[in-house]
Every structure is written in C-alpha cells, then in structure tokens.
Amino acid sequence: MTTTPGNPPQTTAEPRATVLNVNDHAATRYMVSRMLEMAGYQVLEASTGYEALAIAPQRPDLVLLDVEMPDIDGYEVCRRLRGSEETQDLLIAHLSAVSITREDRIRGLAFGADAYWTTPLEEEELLANIEALLRLQRRAQDAIRVRDEFLSVAAHELRTPLTALRLNLERARLLTTRSAPKENLDKGLSAALRQLSRLQQLLDTLLDVSRVANRRLKLEVGTVDLVDAAREIAQRFEPAARAGGVDLQLQLPDTPVVLFGDRLRLEQVLNNLLANALKYGDGKPVRLCVEERDDMAALRVSDNGIGIAPEDQSRIFERFERATNTEQSGSLGLGLYIAKEIVSAHGGSITVDSQPGQGATFQVLLPLRRTEQY
C-alpha cells in the first residue's frame, strides 16, 4: 500500500465503526491500523488466522483479512467464519499484496468474501472502498430492519381481526346449538362479517403496495364530483367520530367540484387522511374542506392533535413509515404512501403542514383535467 504526504485523508466513516485488521506482517498491520484509527475507526488486531477466528465473535463491523498467513490462510479463515452461525454474516474483505491474480480473487469471493482488494492502494482509495462497503451493509441492515418491523406490525394487525372473527364464529356456533334467539345469532354473525371486511382491507392495502411497486396501479378514469365524494366518506366516518367524541366538520362548496379521475381511488385517499386525523387528532375537532382554485381542486383534512415534527414530514409518505413508533401507531405505515401514489397518478400533489402539539393539515391538489394513467 502506498501513502500520500500531508494531512490524513478526510473521511465520512460512521463514528466508532470497528475493523478487525488481520495481517501477519507487523509493519503492514501497524500502518493499516494507524490509518484506520486516524480515519475514526476502532481497530482490533490479529496476526494469525486462529487469532482472527478467536476475535471475530466480538462482531466487528468489518474483517480486513490478509490472504497469506503462517497458520491457516485467509481463504480458510473466511470459510470458517461463514460456516459459523455466530459470524456468518460478518462483512469480510480480503486485502493482499501477494495473491493478486484473477484466480486468487475468484477463489476469495468463492470462499465468502464480500470484497477482494490488492495492494498497492493509496490510503484514500482503501478508505473509500471500506466506507463504501460499510455503507452498503448499513443500507441492507436498514432494509432488513424495516422489513422485520413491517412483518411484526402486519402480523399484529392481521391477528386482531382473525382473533375477533374466530370468537364471533364460535359464539354463533354455540348459539345455534342452544336455539338462541335469532337476533343474538345475527349480532354475532354481523360482527364476524365486520372482521372479515377488516381483513379484506388489510389485504387490499398490501396488494396496492405491490401494484405501486410494479407500476401497475391502474386508474378507472371518469367524471368525479369531489364534493360528493367527500360528503359520502364523511358520512361513513361519522359513527366512528361520534363514538370517539370527535366533531367532524365539513366545509364544502354549494356547487360541484368536478375533475377527471378514479372515484374509488380518490375516496381511498380521503379515507386514509380522515382515518389518520381521527387516530392522531386527540379527540379534538377534525375538518374536511374542498374548494376549487383556478384549474385545481383542493382537498384539506385538518386535525388539532399531536402534530408531526418537521423532520418527519417527508418521511411519513414513504413505505412502512410512521410519524410515531410502532407501538403507538399500530399501523402498517402504508396509508400515506398509497395516498401519495394515487394522488401522483392523478397528476396532483399531497403535502402536510404541521408542528408538534399543534395538529396537522394535509392538503391534496388535483388538476381539473384528464391525466395520464399508470
């Protein structure tokens, strides 16, 4: 490895990331460790393959592994690390000044290395390679975390109506064996049907995410009166609002606001926005407004609840994201994402204006003209 004069290279390494530096050549090991420490990494050292295997269970962020060593070579160390449940997912990069042929690289990658670098390398290049590899690992870990969190929430959300459905069906079966009054049986079956409807909604939401990801969210475009759609959705939410003590207020014009769009999909946007307003509105009034502005239809849903921090306001429109943590929200984190995609498919935009503790206002702007379909 060659060095460059002057100040140490500036890096963007994540603070306190740990690198296990494995090299039997003392001078090279010292030089690499010093370079890593100056770049902000924590460094563990090993001079043999067996030492590396003993230290690796401490789970460094990266194993920087020499190939040629006196006891067992780097290929075998890599193979053993990959074969152990404790270390199989470690990030491993071979760094060699001797085994530099194409066949060496292929062998190293075949034994499980994530990268194979050969020296001489300037410090900036080696650090850039290390940082890029760690960055990719962090992104993969973030994706896995989001996936696992989503699966956990989805399982919880699906389990709730399934449990209620089972209890209601068991109760209905018991009533039939006891010749209970018909109204009692009807009540139990009606509750079961509501839970089935909830399950269908959850599955439809997951299907919508798949369609959006594959650009297959089709619009059935026709003439839509946004005022009529808003009034109908508000009526559907009225029982839930009343049960929660929420004053659901409508501010609608006396004349229709007509656009070309998919009514069912636009109702889905309204549904998602009102559901969020009731959930996070702290029992305070919720307002639904529709108006026409030049060549745009404007739709606003406002609450006076917990609000959304500025740093979260763009994130909440992404997949599996919530303004609150999983335990607080109990949602899949998909409603606003789907709403954004539906609005975008209509050539419109959706924004939020909010401050913590001061409620939130979601605004949808839709063009009053036919738009291109997905």
Do 53 and 96 lie in one domain? The reply is yes
3-state secondary structure of 280: helix
Do 82 and 166 lie in one domain? The reply is no
Which element (helix H / strand E) includes 325?
none
Q: Is the pLDDT of residue 52 over 80?
A: yes
In a domain, 133, yes or no: no
Do 209 and 343 lie in one domain? The reply is no
d(CA 201, CA 154): 12
The pair phi, psi for residue 362, each rounded to 5°, is -95, 130
pLDDT at 47: 93
Closest CA to 113 of 137, 83, 93: 93
| Residue 72 in tokens | 């067992």
In a domain, 12, yes or no: no
Q: Is the pLDDT of residue 54 over 90?
A: yes
d(CA 209, CA 353): 25
pLDDT at 208: 63
pLDDT at 328: 46
pLDDT at 254: 93
pLDDT at 2: 43
Average pLDDT over residues 27-56: 93
Bridge pairing between strands 62-65 and 18-22: parallel
- The enclosing domain of 184 has a CATH number of 1.10.287.130
DSSP state of 156: H
pLDDT at 57: 94
3-state secondary structure of 20: strand
pLDDT at 239: 87
Do 307 and 274 lie in one domain? The reply is yes
Average pLDDT over residues 63-81: 92
pLDDT at 98: 81
pLDDT at 13: 44
pLDDT at 166: 72
Do 208 and 227 lie in one domain? The reply is no
pLDDT at 323: 61
Is there a contact between 329 and 320 (Cβ–Cβ < 8 Å)?
A: no
3-state secondary structure of 307: coil
Tell me which of 191, 213, 235 is where a domain ends. 213
Do 160 and 244 lie in one domain? The reply is no
DSSP state of 357: T
Is there a contact between 364 and 289 (Cβ–Cβ < 8 Å)?
A: no
Do 159 and 242 lie in one domain? The reply is no
In a domain, 139, yes or no: no
Which element (helix H / strand E) includes 125?
helix 123-177
253 — alpha (psi -120 to 50), left (phi > 0) or beta? beta
| Residue 284 in tokens | 């305070």
Q: Is the pLDDT of residue 202 over 50?
A: yes
Average pLDDT over residues 139-150: 68
pLDDT at 185: 66
Is there a contact between 101 and 92 (Cβ–Cβ < 8 Å)?
A: no
Is there a contact between 262 and 270 (Cβ–Cβ < 8 Å)?
A: no
Do 189 and 270 lie in one domain? The reply is no
In a domain, 88, yes or no: yes
pLDDT at 41: 93
pLDDT-derived band of residue 137, with 50, 70 and 90 as boundaries?
Answer: confident
pLDDT greater at residue 247 or residue 317: 247
In a domain, 32, yes or no: yes
Q: Is the pLDDT of residue 204 over 80?
A: no
pLDDT greater at residue 4 or residue 235: 235
pLDDT at 198: 63
Structural domain count of the chain: 3
Do 56 and 155 lie in one domain? The reply is no
pLDDT greater at residue 204 or residue 50: 50
Q: Is the pLDDT of residue 316 over 60?
A: yes
Average pLDDT over residues 155-168: 66
Domain that holds residue 28: 18-121
Q: Which of 33-42, 183-192, 228-237, 348-357 has the lowest mean pLDDT?
A: 183-192
Do 244 and 291 lie in one domain? The reply is yes
In a domain, 316, yes or no: yes
Tell me which of 213, 240, 265 is where a domain ends. 213
Q: Is the pLDDT of residue 214 over 60?
A: no
The pair phi, psi for residue 284, each rounded to 5°, is -90, 170
- The enclosing domain of 273 has a CATH number of 3.30.565.10
In a domain, 81, yes or no: yes
Tell me which of 76, 106, 121 is where a domain ends. 121
d(CA 143, CA 152): 14
pLDDT at 206: 61
pLDDT digits (tens, 9 = 90+) for 251-305: 999 999 999 998 988 998 998 899 899 988 889 999 999 999 888 999 999 999 9
In a domain, 5, yes or no: no
Say whether pTM exceeds 0.75: no
d(CA 322, CA 7): 43
Residues of the chain by 3-state class (helix, strand, coil), percent to 5:
50, 20, 35
